[in-house]
Amino acid sequence: MISKIGFLKSAIAICLCAGASLPAASLKAAELRGTELGEPEALARITAANYCFAHSRALEVERIPPSYLVLKLKMQIVYRNTGTRPMILPLGRELAVYTSLHPGAMKVAPQPSRSFEDTYVTEMKMLPANVNPENPVSPANDVFRIIPAGKTTEFPLVEEEVELPVNHKTLFRHDPDLRGHRVYIRLQFEHQELDPALEAKLSDRWASFGGLWTGTVRTNTMMFDVPASPAGAAPCVDTRVPEPFDGHLQTTNNK
């Protein structure tokens, strides 16, 4: 008869041998599952600013006199992974720009519509053909990126362009006059959602690379001082698309 001590020793030895025989990828996945997937932090800074004379949208822009100034801001966006686990981030995202002339409540500032794809990001139902189902970033693609734990990385779109009317006033629309004012600006990115079944499948397959994250992230609030008499340069076309009021989208300078 085998003693209890002998039985326990045999069981421990079997467990150790089984653990030693596990593939390195499985061990890494098990280790990553025990770490925390935090929220990404988006950091933005203004890198360039210029003004242009806007025309209303038209087929022959050169035949319409310019009517008001538009401020064009270029911004660099970086993401910081605040968790202890690498983050697999979908690159598809929708941009919303918030502005105000005073600290506090901010409202959505409509942005130019360049194409349907730039404005709307739909839920991912199937994995794109250029993405490896066993590895989110090899071969390289424009669908996913991995941000290491505790690290900061530039977003693929290194510069984001924001346009704000400076002195636009019509019978039906009265944008705030920015001349001589400090403008508070904040960006919001809503990253592409995945179909729940697809997300569950990829989370298991990609566990050794990190955790999938989808959701909404807001940048820090930036400030820009508009001169009382800004100097305009080349003409441009105002193609902003007004956005309907959506209470849950409203934000403040620091929340």
Return the amino acid letter for 140: A
The pLDDT score that the predictor gives to residue 251 is 55
Buried b (16+ CB within 10 A) or exposed e, 69-78: bbbbbebbbb
Strands (DSSP E) along the chain, which ranges? 40-56, 68-81, 87-90, 93-100, 105-108, 144-147, 152-165, 182-191, 211-212, 216-218, 222-225, 235-238, 251-252
- pTM assigned to the model: 0.75
How far is CA 208 from each of CA 22, 66, 142, 237, rounded to the nearest angstrom? 13, 56, 20, 48
Q: Where are the domains of the chain?
A: 38-252
The pLDDT score that the predictor gives to residue 236 is 78
Supply the DSSP string of 209-220, one letter for each residue: T-EE--SEEEB-
Return the amino acid letter for 89: L
The pLDDT score that the predictor gives to residue 38 is 85
Low-confidence ranges of the chain (pLDDT < 50): 1-2, 4-5, 7-22, 25, 27-30, 34, 59, 116-117, 242-250
**Cβ–Cβ under 8 Å, residues 198 and 110:** no
